[in-house]
Amino acid sequence: MSTYFSDARRRAQRQRPSSPARHSQSNSCSRLLDKLLHWSERSRRRAAFRDLADDPHLLDDIGLTKQQAMDEVDKSFWR
């Protein structure tokens, strides 16, 4: 067992540090994923407003008018 771990440690030490291009690419992918998740959350939230728009009691609970809820529903997911 100790041979396995010592071999793995040696291999890890021999690996080159990540290049700046690879690091930048990783950040780009991370930012894109964050953006997609943010857009998805907006879309879900706006679908919930669409469901709430027909119930005046629920709208009153969250402090919105039907028009305000519909204005939010009509927005694009990227805005």
Domain boundaries defined on the chain: 42-79
User: pLDDT for 27-73, tens place per residue?
Assistant: 889 999 999 999 999 999 899 888 888 899 999 999 999 999 899 88
pLDDT band at 6, cuts 50/70/90? low
pLDDT band at 76 (very low <50, low <70, confident <90, very high): confident
pTM (predicted TM-score) = 0.56
pLDDT higher for 21 or 56? 56
CA atoms within 13 A on the CB side of 61: 7
Q: Residue 53, Cβ neighbours under 10 Å: how many? A: 19
SS3 at position 36: helix
